[in-house]
Amino acid sequence: MTFAEDASHRQKVQDENFALMQLTQPIKMSLGVTADGKTETYEPEFGNVTDTGDDTGTIADTVDSRVDSDNDIQDVIDASRCATLFETEVTRVLECFSFSPFAKERVVHHLQDEFSFSRSQLSAMQVSIAEAESVSRLDEECVDHVLGKDQQWMLDYKARKAASNMALFLVDLLEDPDFEEEVTGVHASPGLANVLNQSLSIFDDVCDSTSDDIGFVATEACTAHIDMEKFVEEGLMTRTCSKLESSALLEHHRSRSQREHHRAKLVHLFHAQGNSLGLHYQHHLRHGRHERHIGNLIAQVVLRSSFTAKQQELLAHVERGLPMTVDCEVSNGKGDHQRSLMLQIPSYKEYIDCLCSGKQFRVVCEARLLSKMSDVHAAVHQRHKELLEEQRQHQTPSRELRDEGLEQDRSTMRCLPRRTGCLPSSVSSSSCLRQDSWELSLLARAYHP
């Protein structure tokens, strides 16, 4: 490089350094003096008009305004996304209801007749449940976009109340054999059917089917097998459209699960090729059929059986620790309910005496009662009819109720006709038929011939 070239190069570097230094400082152009004596300047690099008096504009002001604008746009996007998620989930739950027993015309008419619930009220309850289920699946930020705090509380209240009513309606249908076709599948449990099949296939090997003589002694492995712990682990299915419904049905689910577990044990003891009890029970579990059918079938097999020593010992193990379901003092006339309407039915009185005597296995007492249920059913409906007539004769006129300011919602005052008697969850004993009437009608429905 020549000296001339070197001098030219140094000058070029100096010019570039000077330009860079200028760029690192605010560039202000005077725009003159304002009326209050302050100098107004313009910063072309950042595009702000600033007042050099008390406040000085900075790049942060511009950045904040742009961030606010971006946040507004993002809020709109998030609100739209949350609304879409909410509506999608609501639609999913409502579609589930469209395949439930409540979508069937016969069930809708039943709810109108028995509970005075219209189709529109049923739909409104389903919407409340669907909306609450949808909100439960959204994150907290989305919930705030979709609902306010007050709306969340009200929606939760309405949905829980609706789920409680829907559960009550479903249990009513599940316990009524007239609606078996409509509710088949609610408790369908293919997994339980498979567990039962596997357990039955090895039962004879585990419990030594050749040891039916007087000397039979159940081994620990045999009693463990008959306890069917795998059956409990698999669990009964209860198909619902929301978590709220499942929670409301928890007590029903628990009680039915216990009954199915007990039946599974009995099926092991009484299943034989000649009665195909095991195959029938598998079909019952797989399709979730009404309990009446399998209960009657087990009762028939029990009454025809001559218990072997093996069956007696294992049955004693199965029934050991079962809670007593009746008050034995009632049958002896010592209890507070000695005038119970149930005891006025001879067949039912015999059932209580059988249980309380301790001379028979419980399954035998229950089988005998089931074999006489046609007589019990006739007696129940006759007495129920008398109680309804008695209530009509002593019912307080609605005008007097209004005059005394005691008129209440008719849906909580009335007695349900024909099969259901009083509704204990919402009707007090003083505002409807006595509790005995409800027990009688439930018994009639559970064992309708």
Read off the pLDDT band of 437 (50, 70, 90): very low
Q: What is the pLDDT of residue 425?
A: 33
Read off the pLDDT band of 149 (50, 70, 90): low
Give the range among 35-44, 214-223, 250-259, 286-295 with minimum mean pLDDT: 35-44
Query: Cα–Cα distance between 98 and 96 in angstroms, integer?
Result: 5
Residue 437's region, left for phi above 0, alpha for psi from -120 to 50, else beta, is: alpha
Mean pLDDT of the chain: 74
- Exposure class string for 278-305: b at 16+ Cβ within 10 A, else e: bebbbebbbebbbbbebbbbbbebbeeb
Cβ atoms of 331 and 356 within 8 Å: the answer is yes
**Where along the chain do its domains lie?**
3-57, 72-181, 185-322
Q: What is the pLDDT of residue 41?
A: 47
Tens of pLDDT, residue by residue over 229-268, are: 999 999 999 999 999 999 999 999 999 999 999 999 999 9
Q: What is the pLDDT of residue 409?
A: 32
